Chain A
Amino acid sequence: MKKRSVGRAVLFTILVLFPAGLMGAQAPSSRPAEPPPPSLPRVFLDWPGADVAFFRTEIPFVEFVSGLEEAQVRVFVMPQGPPESEKFSLEFSGLKGFQGDDNTLPYVPDPGAKPEDVTRGIVGVVKIGLLRYAAKTPAAKDLSVRFLDQAKPTSVVDKWDFWVFSLSASTFLMGETQYRTELYSGSVSANRITPELKIQTSVYGNREDYWFDLGDGEIYESSSHGYGFSGLAVKSLSEHWSAGAFLSAKSSTYYNLKLSATIAPAVEYNVFPYDESTKRQFRILYRIGYTGTRYHEETIFFKTSEVLLQESLSWAYEVKRPWGTISLKLEGSHFFHDLSKNRVELSAEADVRIWKGLSFDLYGRYSRVRDQLGLPRGGASYEEVLLRQKQLATDYDYYISIGLNFTFGSTRSSVVNPRFGNGGRSISISM
């Protein structure tokens, strides 16, 4: 059966590609004329008596022209106010292809500035004002804008002292004639994040309900829920070190937890400075903490409640460079009362361009699980297993997704043609 399908797929490909081949052959005659690549923007400086040669040397990414007829941009320098406290208004008007692309920038010289300083200042503002036009020409790729200083992100006037509060709630309902599911979730959070101290707190809750009509009047219904609190406080000690604590409390029917509370101090070392974290980071985090738990059902270890000490160590390496992104994480933890109750988790993510149009992506996770202390003695029902509503006994769990993509052909393919849509809508919902 399978073989026949594939045979048809091949035949169909040939059928479909054939008319396409014809279209490709006809294409050159009806090919839309591409606009010729525009060179540098042509600018007319409307400031009688100006030293245009000085503007030319200072602003090399435009072409200064002598007449308004050939110009694409007109820069009109208009002095305002009395000569001793002179101000300038610089009007940029787009012409031809830039029609309607207008802007005005002010220039106020420092008190007592010499005439050459004023000219230099005006050139600086003209340069900045012309960037919007240059950005629309091929010159854009040869331009770069640099901030000469480093300003602290907290140098602002903030009456809330960086606290942000957030309330959110959402619900998702889905159904068919024989199947229904309902999800609800809500959270309240208060965060204060500054480079020196990070505080994140939130209270959340969620609930899931399922309903199945199994035929012959047989109905299966189930519900699961979870709620909790999570908090984190981190103090920055240096460019490489941080210290803080995790605080959490949660309840979950999936994990058989009536209430589980954790307090865990932790310390982190980043091999690279933290301010490079969007490009590369290698963080090593150690945490040790007490967890007090009360279970819904008696566990396979005959416990209904317990207080345990656990430690964990994790290595997280992440690099994002022009050739791609790689992130690796290894985490190990164990309980102190019984060292055989431990867990090792390895996860990896990569999205790498191997060669020109060839790229590779991978996401994988593997865990060796020896610490399922909360498994209920009663086990799970047949339906709970199939619907994955209860944690099951396992020694491992894994998830791997890999993809390979090869693209070749035209490199002038940045054309957008929205006709008949660009494929379907994709909706993703995650909890």
Chain B
Amino acid sequence: MRTSPGAAPLPALAMVLVLSLAAHSFAIQENQAGVEELKKTALKVYLDCDSCDLEYIKTEITFVNYVRDRLEAQVHILVTSQATGGGGVEYTLTFIGQNDLKGASDVQKSFSTKSDTDDDVRRGLVKTLKLGLMSFVGRTPISKRIAVDYAPPDKALPGRDRWNFWVFSLSGSGYFSGEESYNDHYLDFSISANRVTPGSKVRLGVSVDTSKTKYEIEDEIITGTKSSWAGSGLFVKSLGEHWSAGAYVEAESSLYRNIDLGMSVAPAVEYNFFPYSESTRRQLRALYKLALNPVKYREATVYGKMRETLLKEALSLTLDLREKWGTVSLSAAGSHYFHDLSKYRVDTFAYLSLRLYKGLSIYILGSQTWTHDQLSLVGRELTFEERLLRLRQLPTVSDYYFAFGFQFQFGSIFANVINPRFGSVGASGMQISVN
């Protein structure tokens, strides 16, 4: 069994290579099998977020299992959002431990700015989600396969804010649609300047819009035009965790509402029954406003007026709750003019979206308005087109809308899979979103 010394190294080397390759691929296979096994015991997460790019999150974070129903989850992640002073969004991620992780919790925040793209927003959310999830994933064996990298900055933090919290924004948009016998266009432009700090809030804005609709029916052309502009200012001073005081200043002109120029100055005061710091999850706000409103009409009103100065008071109550079991939003507002107490209006609004039981969720959306204060209605008879195309405000004493829906889901609780092939089909039914 003696081979020549020169021949031996080559087959031996090959053998070693093959063996080590086999061992290596075997290790990978075993490792892979191990990971699939670890995935079975991975953290069960219910991601409760309407505005998130769920497909992206599920592709980027694969060390947890996503479930379809909140009661199945070990962690319920409630994502709520609020507008920031700069026109961006503050996302609050509330991690709530459930089932065997009951009692564990955390709150993390992620911020976006107004000029952030969709990709910036979703990457920011994924980072915050990952960091927040680790406190829970740390209890599952899969955490052994997670690495944390830290690349410290070599540069100090940016200097002071020379804009002193002021944020300015200019926006314009246009919308055009049409067919041979129908076309529609709409244009708007707005400018805003905002300064928001915890102590005070200033919001100023001016907007202009115009729209035109054209129909061609049997060689007859029907055109409908609407245009309006408005300017508004809001000044609010914070007075502790529950009180605020401020004023609204507004001016407007609207063809639809027969207003040539309407101005309004309204001091106001607000009380929040919950502390303002909890506002992303719960608020119950009562706002009182007293408004002085000089107005000039385009055409004589049903009351024969061309101009008048009105004094009005308004009270509104708003409740917003965002909990594990769903969303509740209720509001009621009433106002009346002082010169004639029978000129009043009442607005009510309710939205409830509840996850009642495993797989079953319902929503109810409703609003009812009693209107007895249409002081600007046009005095003359409206044309057929003005009515049908709703170019002018019509007299009404009440209007309402009501929506109700339910969804019942059963079957697999897992929602891990993303399959983009052929896109997606099927009727999604009615989609309602309330912001």
Is the Cβ of A168 less than 8 Å from the Cβ of B139? no
Is the Cβ of B138 less than 8 Å from the Cβ of A429? no
1/0 per residue, CB under 8 A from B, across A180-194: the answer is 000101110111111
Chain A residues contacting B193 (CB-CB under 8 Å) are 17, 20
Is the Cβ of B427 less than 8 Å from the Cβ of A230? yes
Segment of B5-13, B14-22, B174-182, B303-311 engaged in the interface with chain A: B174-182
Whether B56 sits at the interface, judged by CB under 8 Å, is yes
Whether B170 sits at the interface, judged by CB under 8 Å, is yes
Chain A residues contacting B131 (CB-CB under 8 Å) are 131-132, 134-135, 140, 143, 145
Chain A residues contacting B260 (CB-CB under 8 Å) are 5
User: Who on chain A is nearest to B208 by CB?
Assistant: A9
Whether B400 sits at the interface, judged by CB under 8 Å, is yes
Is the Cβ of B195 less than 8 Å from the Cβ of A168? no
Chain B residues contacting A270 (CB-CB under 8 Å) are 421
Distance in angstroms between the alpha carbons of A37 and B280 in the assembled complex: 23
8 A Cβ contacts from B389-435 to A = 389, 394-414, 416-435
Chain A residues contacting B221 (CB-CB under 8 Å) are none
Whether B31 sits at the interface, judged by CB under 8 Å, is yes
Is the Cβ of A402 less than 8 Å from the Cβ of B173? yes
Given A105-B138, A185-B429, the answer on whether A174 and B401 have CB atoms closer than 8 Å is yes
Whether A428 sits at the interface, judged by CB under 8 Å, is yes
Is the Cβ of A170 less than 8 Å from the Cβ of B146? no
Is the Cβ of B279 less than 8 Å from the Cβ of A418? yes
Given A153-B417, A428-B433, the answer on whether A403 and B172 have CB atoms closer than 8 Å is yes
Is the Cβ of B408 less than 8 Å from the Cβ of A166? yes
Chain B residues contacting A164 (CB-CB under 8 Å) are 68, 409-412
Partner of A412, one of B135, B165, B235: B165
Whether B74 sits at the interface, judged by CB under 8 Å, is no
8 A Cβ contacts from B149-205 to A = 149-153, 157-158, 161, 163-182, 191, 193, 195-202, 204
User: Who on chain A is nearest to B433 by CB?
Assistant: A428
Distance in angstroms between the alpha carbons of A101 and B387 in the assembled complex: 60
Within the complex, the shortest CB–CB distance from A225 to chain B, in Å, comes to 13
Is the Cβ of A426 less than 8 Å from the Cβ of B435? yes
Whether B1 sits at the interface, judged by CB under 8 Å, is no
Is the Cβ of A385 less than 8 Å from the Cβ of B150? no
Is the Cβ of A386 less than 8 Å from the Cβ of B215? yes
1/0 per residue, CB under 8 A from A, across B192-235: the answer is 01011111111010101000000101000010000101010111
8 A Cβ contacts from A57-79 to B = 60-61
Partner of B276, one of A152, A322, A382, A418: A418
Partner of B204, one of A20, A357, A422: A20
Chain B residues contacting A414 (CB-CB under 8 Å) are 84-86, 88, 90, 111, 113
1/0 per residue, CB under 8 A from A, across B367-383: the answer is 00000000000000110
Is the Cβ of B179 less than 8 Å from the Cβ of A131? no
Given A16-B249, A149-B31, the answer on whether A325 and B119 have CB atoms closer than 8 Å is yes
Report the interface size class on chain A: 35 or more
Chain B residues contacting A408 (CB-CB under 8 Å) are 167-169
Segment of A21-29, A80-88, A301-309, A340-348 engaged in the interface with chain B: A21-29
8 A Cβ contacts from A244-276 to B = 244, 246, 248, 266, 268, 270, 274-275
Chain B residues contacting A141 (CB-CB under 8 Å) are 127
Is the Cβ of A194 less than 8 Å from the Cβ of B387? no
Within the complex, the shortest CB–CB distance from B222 to chain A, in Å, comes to 8
Chain B residues contacting A32 (CB-CB under 8 Å) are 197-199
User: Who on chain B is nearest to A197 by CB?
Assistant: B419
User: Who on chain A is nearest to B34 by CB?
Assistant: A149
Is the Cβ of A413 less than 8 Å from the Cβ of B117? no
Is the Cβ of B169 less than 8 Å from the Cβ of A407? yes
Is the Cβ of B434 less than 8 Å from the Cβ of A426? yes
Segment of A43-51, A289-297, A393-401 engaged in the interface with chain B: A393-401
Is the Cβ of A151 less than 8 Å from the Cβ of B90? no
User: Who on chain B is nearest to A201 by CB?
Assistant: B426
Is the Cβ of A266 less than 8 Å from the Cβ of B106? no
Is the Cβ of B401 less than 8 Å from the Cβ of A409? no
Whether A234 sits at the interface, judged by CB under 8 Å, is yes
Is the Cβ of B139 less than 8 Å from the Cβ of A410? no
Distance in angstroms between the alpha carbons of A141 and B40 in the assembled complex: 31
1/0 per residue, CB under 8 A from B, across A401-431: the answer is 1111111111111111111111101111111
Is the Cβ of A392 less than 8 Å from the Cβ of B179? yes
Whether B291 sits at the interface, judged by CB under 8 Å, is no
Chain A residues contacting B200 (CB-CB under 8 Å) are 23, 30, 417
Given A9-B231, A416-B82, the answer on whether A171 and B404 have CB atoms closer than 8 Å is yes
Within the complex, the shortest CB–CB distance from B362 to chain A, in Å, comes to 10
Given A147-B62, A418-B276, the answer on whether A394 and B148 have CB atoms closer than 8 Å is no
8 A Cβ contacts from B114-134 to A = 114-120, 123, 127-128, 130-132, 134
Given A143-B131, A352-B117, the answer on whether A156 and B65 have CB atoms closer than 8 Å is yes
Chain B residues contacting A183 (CB-CB under 8 Å) are 430
Is the Cβ of A200 less than 8 Å from the Cβ of B387? no
Partner of A165, one of B137, B349, B409: B409
Whether A8 sits at the interface, judged by CB under 8 Å, is yes
Chain B residues contacting A429 (CB-CB under 8 Å) are 403, 430-432
Chain A residues contacting B294 (CB-CB under 8 Å) are none
Partner of A143, one of B85, B149, B198, B435: B149
Chain A residues contacting B363 (CB-CB under 8 Å) are 170
Whether B246 sits at the interface, judged by CB under 8 Å, is yes
User: Who on chain A is nearest to B410 by CB?
Assistant: A165
Distance in angstroms between the alpha carbons of A356 and B113 in the assembled complex: 11
Given A16-B249, A421-B318, the answer on whether A358 and B115 have CB atoms closer than 8 Å is yes
Whether B356 sits at the interface, judged by CB under 8 Å, is no
Whether B287 sits at the interface, judged by CB under 8 Å, is yes
Can you list 21 A-B contacts with CB-CB less than 8 angstroms, sorted by A residue number? A104-B104, A128-B135, A128-B137, A136-B109, A144-B149, A146-B147, A160-B412, A164-B410, A169-B406, A171-B402, A175-B399, A185-B429, A206-B429, A230-B427, A268-B422, A322-B119, A358-B115, A405-B170, A407-B86, A415-B86, A420-B287
Additional A-B contacts beyond A202-B425, A414-B85, A416-B82 (5; CB < 8 A): A17-B204, A140-B128, A397-B178, A398-B176, A413-B196
